[in-house]
Amino acid sequence: MADEEIPYLQRGIRAIPTESSTLVSSSKYLNDPRIRDWVSTHMLRRSGQDRPSPSDPGVLAGYIMELADVPRILSLIQAERKKSPKLEAWFSKGFISTFGKSDLAKYKPGTVGGIFYEYLTSKGFEVDLVPRYEPKNDYQYFMFRSGQTHDLEHIIGGGGFDYLGELVPYYMRLTNIFKWVGSELASELAAMHILGSTRIMTRAVLHYPQSWPTAVETVERGIKVGKMSDIIFANIYEDVFDMPLEEARKALGVRGAADVDTLAASNIWEEKVENPGWEYADGVRDSWHHL
């Protein structure tokens, strides 16, 4: 077919021959059948109670770490450490939390430690999202420490402990990391966050449109914090457990955070309410048209 007979935006597409009997792509993520399955499943599925959504990210993190080109990532980290004294100090210190839930009981309500303790006890959760281990290199340390601080980033960043609230720590990380390290390294370190957060957005649009305005506004809040703040992933939150929340944010260089209740929209997204109708959640209807 002559070019003039092909729709303009379809021109330039070419078939690439291969002897492979399986899918071959220039994308390492598309090449991995586990990640393909994860993306297709969790971007498109409903948030059924038979598969609680908090279980989604853990397995994905394992896939991404197994797929990572660790020598290349370590080389990129070393280059960034040479350019940034703060990064050099953070990696050199290699701080790892050792506290347990009972250690938080001493902190007053309204302090970071007190807020964290109230959350853990009310939900029956423990401190560690994943079992503790000893990181063997800078990449493992970054990933391990990110898991240790995730719940604390909810508190400091203003993301509620509900599923749309997850968008705050996701997007403040996604925005902030590209601000403080080079784009190649940031891409490797943020892969988990972009895939984990996007599943929340696609499912909001496809299945829970009443939650969409809240999801968008929550993303915007996370982006704002990420843009305005110091290096979020290098924070030692344990140093501010005894501080009131606003004082702790100031001490850590976390700026632009706002505490907004997103529970009503999250309950729709997680199918914890039945037949919510077509009204938007959380009082944001006035600024949005019906879908």
23 or 173, greater pLDDT: 173
- Percent of the chain topping pLDDT 70: 90
Is pLDDT at 2 greater than 50 in this prediction? yes
What's the start-to-end Cα distance of the chain, in Å?
Answer: 40
**Does 20 reside within a domain?**
no
Calculate ∠ Cα 230-236-242, nearest 5°: 110
Query: Half-sphere exposure of 107 toward its Cβ, with a 13 Å CA cutoff?
Result: 25
Q: What is the mean pLDDT of residues 108-127?
A: 93
- Do the domain assignments include residue 272? yes
Complete DSSP assignment for 167-223 = HHHHHHHHHHHHHHS-HHHHHHHHHHHHHHHHHHHHHHHHH-GGGHHHHHHHHHHHH
> Is 128 a domain residue?
yes
Residue at 212 is within a domain: yes
Q: What share of the chain is helix, strand, coil (3-state, %, to 5)?
A: 65, 0, 35
Residue-range definition of the domain harbouring residue 251: 57-287
Domain count, the chain: 1
For residue 173, being part of any structural domain is answered with yes
Can you give the pTM of this predicted structure?
Answer: 0.88
Does some domain include residue 259? yes
DSSP one-letter string for 256-290: S------HHHHHHHTT-SS--TTPPSTT-GGGS--
pLDDT, tens only, 30-64? 999 999 999 999 999 999 888 878 788 889 999 99
Decide if 161 is inside a domain.
yes
- Check: CB of residue 230 under 8 Å from CB of residue 252: yes
Report, as an integer, the average pLDDT of 80-95.
Answer: 96
Cα–Cα distance for residue pair 196/43, rounded to 1 Å:
9
Q: What integer pLDDT is reported at residue 203 of this predicted model?
A: 97
Phi, psi at residue 14, to the nearest 5°?
-140, 145
Cα separation values, 94 from 60, 97, 134, 137, 143, Å:
24, 10, 10, 10, 12
The percentage of the chain sitting over the pLDDT mark of 90, rounded to a whole number, equals 75
pLDDT of 283 above 70 = no
Q: What is the pLDDT of residue 287?
A: 45
On whether residue 27 sits in a domain, the answer given is no
